[in-house]
Every structure is written in structure tokens, then in C-alpha cells.
Chain A
């Protein structure tokens, strides 16, 4: 680890065993699919075989007549949704589009779009009933490429769609849902003063998060109107809000119970099954469980955008980047909402560049509606940005990491959107990479190359609530509402332990349902250890103050005479002294319980985090296969609460990035049908495909957090695409501008037949 100045901590920075570890390794942890309720029915979804079609008729009579079928639902059974954008905590959604994505109304907009659902006594009957539902379609031409969808003659997905921008809506029907622009300085004029200019076009394909656990939801709609939903989600409160809106049901009558989650990476924020299971439960009076299979996950949930990026950057011969101009078009899928604004804000984030012009377009196409995927929009943007930076460095004859140091952003530099950075750690990351054993080791052998790249992701704060309670034995329970995906039970418990001055093992964290704790935004945006950490810290301080008040009586002194330091309570005269645990026993045994809650808004997107990666590859000139030989990820974690989990996030992000770079893509035929919707054909990396990912944690504490935390979950997926492309270039002499860099693509480009 590389650490700048930080306080000495007792718990933070240690590596205790996670509180949920035993349940997970013994199989006792309950996931969405594990739920069994008395009388439970089983639901399945009927999906569109077409990428774009009008639904002319749905006939469910034969399916309804099948013995064992209990209910069938179509969009006609959903309340009519309002055509308005609703803030859903992190991000927003148009309620009508959300409802139409849950069950198609009028048109299907992508293959896999849900059109009906069945509840039956078992899965086999439900599947048989799906085949008996007759849907007449009028097939329409589909558009699958964002640049083609922007053309005036392209088939329109939504007749009413107008290009939205901060300046107001456009006046013509279009597939371009939004246009965002950032202009600082005068890029066009500045290019005239540049000694080197690199201009390239890049494209990436739609890819999926690939979480191991398919979506699963069970709903019970009681006769009193109370709905309970047990689901696999990153945001139980957001599921509650979305279901309340889609079902037009009072939010106070919807309770969401988050089950353990087998990965999400942003893909488990929108609702797909929950409202459908709820309606089927209302129709039958029984609990209804719906699970997806892997093909449904690929075709019927939210992957991330395929992209098209044009980028031009210029630098002076002394190594200063002075101008950048970019045009980004991201696929939104069937409904508006790609992460193109996020991508455009991250594109140049590591650097101090005076003249910038960026245009960003959100474009609907006949593919699944995209949703967040780990640092949404940033990896594709940096695939472009960090290759152009690499090429500029090469042309200027400057080491690529030193070139990044020469142009790095610092505190005060105008970063994304022109906002000045607070203290950031990009330069420290690049310097750590320069000093690393990996970068200083020679790379020998034919067809081998070394690449580097940096990346940035914001750090969401948003809303978090926790409740802490002192137990009779002096331990402390921590009630929280954030789904634990990456070890946040531990990271929050460690921050509470540090605040109170107790042992980590004396804090017991529990994730509860939406009726049992205050509001929490999603587990996403790298925010829980950061934002909920602030709530935990505040609740701990409140608890300490309450303990002081309560101790005053048995110690027969005024509360002002008691100090709390390093986890001990003492009277100022030194006569009384007790550890937190002993003081807690004293207080709880004599009086009412001691409980404190805190609800915080930890801000929008804050200080942000940077990473710099180094990778060595070998390219087989005969097969085009790229082998990762060595990989080192450097990342500013602010303060690493649990270093093992930070390292795990870094390694996981890199592996996902390797898959995105080399193999993964939604492979469509010309009818808009995904041809590889299984893990057999959608090639994600396995342990056989990657070496040990070495990690270097840099700690430049965030000024926005009491312990200096920065979010760590997302930024590690940002640099790998470009780092690997830069390495492949050095191995082959050919720049890679399209993903994935599959063996076929490598051969086509290196042999000049692309």
C-alpha cells in the first residue's frame, strides 16, 4: 500500500472475517430462489421473439384452460402509468416506460421484451402454458446500431420521442433521446497550436454484467392490501418505490425484503419481476415466485450500452495536452437512459485540459433497455480516451505513465463538467505504477506488449439510515438497509467499531427490510462504505453522547464531567474509568435500552476515485488469441477500511474488464436476435483465463468523509479495456479501435482484412 498521512486507526485497515461468511460458505444464506412459502405458485414470463413489432392480439384462452394454471397477466392488467419522470433515489425513470418495460403495451421493442406472465402450480405447467399463449405480431424493421438509429430515415421506436437537452425538447420525432454538451475554452482554435493531434473512432458492443445469480422475486399480496416482496436487488427501497408507482399502490403498503444477492453490478436496480409477481399474487391470493433463466437474464434485463465514440486530442511538443473534442453516441436500448453523460464526464477526468468540447447522445435502439453496469459509461469512454492519450505519448516520444503525470489533474483542476476537484489521487496512482515492480520489470519475448491506462469514477453519497443499539453484554447491533454485495456489513461494522472504540467482533451488523430501518438508496455508485459509513459514524457519535448522559447517574457526576476517548469513558478527575463494553453493561442493566439512529444525505457525486493499471499480454499471431501474462491494478481507495475487500473489488473489476476487452459482446443476427444468450456462447473469463491480479492500494484520504473513504467498487473496471488495447498495440503494432478484441478481430486487424 502507498499511504499519505492519515490518523492511526485500531480497526480500520485490519482484515477481520466477514460477519456473513459462515452462512455463505455453508450454503445457509438465503437467496431469492431459496424462498419457499406455503401454497406458493410459480410464475414464468412470455417474451417477444421479435426485435420490433406491434402486438395485434394476445389470446390467453388456451393457456388459461390448461389444468394447473391459476392466473395470466398482460399489460392490460397493469394500471395505466403516468408519462412522467420520477426520481428514484439514484437515477430516475419515466414511469410509463418503466411499466411498459415490465410488460409490453402496444409494441415490443426488443427480443426478450415481456408480453405476458403465467402463475401455475409448478414451473412445468407454467412453461407449458407460455407456449399456449398466442400473440399476433406485425413485425417492424429494427435498428440495432446507435449511429444508424440517429439517421433521419431510421425506423422510429417511439413516435413521441423528441431529443431532450437542458435547452429544451427538440421538435421532430427521433431516436436520439438526449443531447448533452460540455464546452470549455475553444478546442477548435486550440488544435491549431498543437504539435501532435490524434483523431480516431472507436466502437464497443453491448455487454452484460454477468452476475452469477439470475433474478428471482416472490410476492405476496394480502387481502388487506399489504404487499410483501422477497427479491434479489441492490436497492430494496428503490424496488418499493418502483413497485408502488407501477402498481399505483400506496408505498406504505409495500414491504421489500432484500434476500442475499449473487452479484448485481448495477443490473439489479430496475424492477422486472417484482410488479408481475405482485399482480399474479393479487389475482390468485397466493404467494407467487418468478425466476429467470440465463437466457432471460441476457435478453430481458438491462446490460450496458454498445457505443460509438469519435475523439480528437492535441498536445504540444513539450508534452502538454491542450485540446480535446469528442462525440459520443451510446445505445440506450429500448427506452431512453444510457450512461452517455457519465461516460462523457469521465472521458478526460484524469487530466488538466483547458480546451474541451464534448457532445453526447443517448440513442434508443431495438435492444434491451440498458441499466447501470459498474462505473456506467466510463469503461467505453476510457477505451477511447486512454488509447488516444497513449498514442499522443508515443508520438511525442514520452513514457506513457510520465506523460500522464505531466498532464495529471490535481486538487483545484477543473474536472468533469468544469467542477474543481477537491483532493484527488490520480498523480499518486500513476507514480505508484511508475515505481511498481511490474513496470520496472523487463518484458521479453516475441508478440508481447505492455499497456497502461488510467480511469476515473465518481463517488456517490446519497441517502443512508442506520440504527445502533447497545446489547446487555455490551456489544452493539447495527441495523442497516443496504444490500451487502461487496462486504459492506463488515466495512460498516468496522467504521462503527472505530467510532465507538470497540472491537469489530463486538458489532453485529444486520441488513433488514424496508419497514425496519430508515431510507437507504441503492447499493451502487460505490456509495455504501462511503455514504452509509457517514451514517454509521454519526449514529456512533450520538450513541456515545447518550452513553455519557446515562453514565452520569451511576457515576454521580455531571455529563459534562465525562470524557470519551479511544473507546473509554472517564471522568475528568480520573476517578471513574470504563471501557465502552463495561460502561454499556452498566448503563443497559440499570435503565432503558440505548439506541441511536442516524439518517444522512451524503451528497451527490463527490471526490471521486482514480486507478492506473499495467498489463502485459502475448498475442498468438496464428490464432489471434490474447493471453494476459501479468496484471497490476493501482487504485486510490482514500482510506482502505478492509484492505482485503478493496483488493477483491480491484481484482473483480479487472476480470470483468478483461472479459469486456477480449471476449464479451451481445452478438446479434440481422433480425435483432441475440445469438449467444448462454454462458456457453457469451464468453466470460474463468480462472483459467486470468493470472493473479496484483494490487497496489493508494491511500489519499477523501476530504469529504470522516475516515477519508473513497468508493472503490467501480473504478477498477474502467482502465482494463484501454490498458489491454494499448498492450495489444505494443505486441502487434496495430491499434484496436473496436471491442471485443476477439481472436477473429485481432486476426482481421493484424492481417489487414478488417
Chain B
């Protein structure tokens, strides 16, 4: 199961938890399961079937931009702001 690090501003949705163990083969699966257990997560992270433009998710230290990114059994996921460079 993946370990999802919950951003501080979303911890109220997760009962105050800072990390949760959530099963799923892709980021989309994990978000779906997260939302099933703690309703509201999908709405905050997904818009029109894609990650919200302001949101990025890292999987094992690599920032992913697509919901279909595959994740391993013990993957570590972080929800972070999307960034740009100059």
C-alpha cells in the first residue's frame, strides 16, 4: 500500500492524519480510494478528470503530472503545489 502524505490544509478531511496508507495501482486509484475513505479529496485534487493545474503529486521523489502514473506497492506520495521555472 502506498503511503500518502497529507498536506496540512487537507488534514481536517483525514481526521487530522498526516500520513495514510492507501492501496492503488495508479495515482488515480489512490485518490479514488482516499476519497472513498475520506470524502472530499477527489474534489480538491482533480478537475475535469485531470489533476488540478495548481497541484502536483510526487511518487517516490519523482514529480508526476498524470493521474495514470503507476505506483509501486510501497510508494510514497506527496501532494504539492505545481511549480514553474525561469
Within 8 A of A (CB), among B31-86: 43-45, 50, 52-56, 58, 61-65, 76, 78-86
Check A90 against B85 for contact (C-beta < 8 Å).
yes
Q: Main secondary structure on chain B at its contact with chain A? A: mixed
A181 and B54 in contact (CB under 8 A), knowing A372-B86, A605-B83?
no
Enumerate chain A residues within 8 angstroms of B12, measured Cβ to Cβ.
167
Interface flag for A691 (CB, 8 Å): no
The answer for the CA separation of A342 and B9 in the assembled complex, in Å, is 17
Check A166 against B55 for contact (C-beta < 8 Å).
yes
Interface flag for A266 (CB, 8 Å): yes
Per-residue B-contact encoding for A670-692, CB less than 8 Å = 1, 0 else: 00000000000000000000000
Enumerate chain A residues within 8 angstroms of B61, measured Cβ to Cβ.
419-422, 606
Per-residue B-contact encoding for A416-435, CB less than 8 Å = 1, 0 else: 11111110000000000000
Shortest Cβ gap from A305 to chain B (Å): 12
The answer for the CA separation of A321 and B19 in the assembled complex, in Å, is 24
Check B10 against A166 for contact (C-beta < 8 Å).
yes
Check A376 against B84 for contact (C-beta < 8 Å).
yes
A527 and B44 in contact (CB under 8 A), knowing A181-B8, A418-B5, A606-B62?
no
Within 8 A of A (CB), among B11-38: 12-13, 18
Chain A, Cβ-Cβ closest to B58: A419
Shortest Cβ gap from B84 to chain A (Å): 3
Number of residues of chain A lying within 8 A (CB) of chain B: 54
The answer for the CA separation of A90 and B53 in the assembled complex, in Å, is 10
A460 and B85 in contact (CB under 8 A), knowing A419-B61, A420-B76?
yes
Contact of B84 among A164, A182, A419, A525 (CB under 8 A): A525
Check B85 against A341 for contact (C-beta < 8 Å).
no
The answer for the CA separation of A267 and B7 in the assembled complex, in Å, is 31
The answer for the CA separation of A417 and B84 in the assembled complex, in Å, is 15
Interface flag for A373 (CB, 8 Å): yes
Enumerate chain A residues within 8 angstroms of B86, measured Cβ to Cβ.
209, 264-267, 269, 372-376, 524-525, 714
Check B53 against A372 for contact (C-beta < 8 Å).
no
Check B63 against A605 for contact (C-beta < 8 Å).
yes
| Interface-centre pick from A85, A167, A168 (highest chain B CB count, 10 A) | A167
A90 and B84 in contact (CB under 8 A), knowing A165-B9, A419-B58, A421-B61?
yes
Contact of B58 among A182, A525, A604 (CB under 8 A): A604
Check A604 against B81 for contact (C-beta < 8 Å).
no
Check B63 against A181 for contact (C-beta < 8 Å).
no
Enumerate chain A residues within 8 angstroms of B81, measured Cβ to Cβ.
166, 180, 341, 345, 417
Enumerate chain A residues within 8 angstroms of B65, measured Cβ to Cβ.
601, 604
A342 and B53 in contact (CB under 8 A), knowing A418-B5, A419-B58?
no
Enumerate chain A residues within 8 angstroms of B8, measured Cβ to Cβ.
181-183
Interface flag for A458 (CB, 8 Å): yes
Enumerate chain B residues within 8 angstroms of A168, measured Cβ to Cβ.
43-44
The answer for the CA separation of A265 and B84 in the assembled complex, in Å, is 12
Classify chain B: how many residues form its interface, as a range. 20 to 34
The answer for the CA separation of A266 and B84 in the assembled complex, in Å, is 9
The answer for the CA separation of A417 and B62 in the assembled complex, in Å, is 12
Interface flag for A91 (CB, 8 Å): yes
A166 and B79 in contact (CB under 8 A), knowing A85-B54, A606-B62?
yes
Enumerate chain B residues within 8 angstroms of A267, measured Cβ to Cβ.
86
| Interface-centre pick from A180, A457, A601 (highest chain B CB count, 10 A) | A180
Interface flag for A487 (CB, 8 Å): no
Shortest Cβ gap from A84 to chain B (Å): 9
The answer for the CA separation of A321 and B73 in the assembled complex, in Å, is 34
The answer for the CA separation of A209 and B43 in the assembled complex, in Å, is 37
A526 and B85 in contact (CB under 8 A), knowing A166-B55, A419-B80?
yes
The answer for the CA separation of A527 and B84 in the assembled complex, in Å, is 11
Per-residue B-contact encoding for A499-528, CB less than 8 Å = 1, 0 else: 000000000000000000000000011110
Enumerate chain A residues within 8 angstroms of B13, measured Cβ to Cβ.
167
Check B10 against A167 for contact (C-beta < 8 Å).
yes
The answer for the CA separation of A375 and B12 in the assembled complex, in Å, is 33
The answer for the CA separation of A265 and B61 in the assembled complex, in Å, is 26
Interface flag for A339 (CB, 8 Å): yes
Check A372 against B63 for contact (C-beta < 8 Å).
no
Chain A, Cβ-Cβ closest to B63: A604
The answer for the CA separation of A42 and B52 in the assembled complex, in Å, is 40
Interface flag for A86 (CB, 8 Å): yes
The answer for the CA separation of A648 and B18 in the assembled complex, in Å, is 43
Check B7 against A181 for contact (C-beta < 8 Å).
yes
The answer for the CA separation of A605 and B81 in the assembled complex, in Å, is 11
The answer for the CA separation of A372 and B85 in the assembled complex, in Å, is 6
Contact of B78 among A266, A339, A373, A419 (CB under 8 A): A419
The answer for the CA separation of A329 and B2 in the assembled complex, in Å, is 34
Interface flag for A225 (CB, 8 Å): no
Chain A, Cβ-Cβ closest to B41: A166
| Interface-centre pick from A374, A605, A606 (highest chain B CB count, 10 A) | A605
Within 8 A of B (CB), among A54-89: 85-87
Contact of B85 among A92, A209, A376, A603 (CB under 8 A): A376
Enumerate chain B residues within 8 angstroms of A182, measured Cβ to Cβ.
7-8
Contact of A375 among B53, B62, B79, B85 (CB under 8 A): B85
Enumerate chain B residues within 8 angstroms of A181, measured Cβ to Cβ.
7-9
Contact of B83 among A86, A341, A704 (CB under 8 A): A341
Shortest Cβ gap from B69 to chain A (Å): 10
Enumerate chain A residues within 8 angstroms of B79, measured Cβ to Cβ.
166
Check A525 against B85 for contact (C-beta < 8 Å).
yes
Enumerate chain A residues within 8 angstroms of B76, measured Cβ to Cβ.
420
Check B85 against A524 for contact (C-beta < 8 Å).
yes
Chain A, Cβ-Cβ closest to B84: A91
A85 and B53 in contact (CB under 8 A), knowing A167-B44, A419-B78, A604-B58?
yes
Enumerate chain A residues within 8 angstroms of B58, measured Cβ to Cβ.
417, 419, 604
Enumerate chain A residues within 8 angstroms of B44, measured Cβ to Cβ.
166-168
Per-residue B-contact encoding for A146-190, CB less than 8 Å = 1, 0 else: 000000000000000000111110000000001111111000000
Check B53 against A603 for contact (C-beta < 8 Å).
no
Chain B, Cβ-Cβ closest to A234: B86
Shortest Cβ gap from A377 to chain B (Å): 9
Per-residue B-contact encoding for A183-201, CB less than 8 Å = 1, 0 else: 1100000000000000000
Check B78 against A372 for contact (C-beta < 8 Å).
no
Given contacts A375-B86, A603-B64, 6 further A-B contacts (CB under 8 A): A85-B53, A87-B53, A91-B84, A183-B18, A374-B86, A417-B78
Closest 9 CB pairs of A and B: A266-B86, A604-B63, A525-B85, A91-B84, A372-B86, A92-B53, A183-B8, A341-B81, A417-B80
19 interchain pairs, CB-CB under 8 A: A166-B9, A179-B9, A345-B80, A345-B81, A372-B86, A375-B85, A376-B85, A376-B86, A418-B78, A419-B61, A420-B61, A524-B86, A525-B84, A525-B86, A604-B56, A605-B56, A605-B83, A606-B61, A606-B63
B-side interface residues toward A, CB under 8 Å? 5, 7-10, 12-13, 18, 43-45, 50, 52-56, 58, 61-65, 76, 78-86
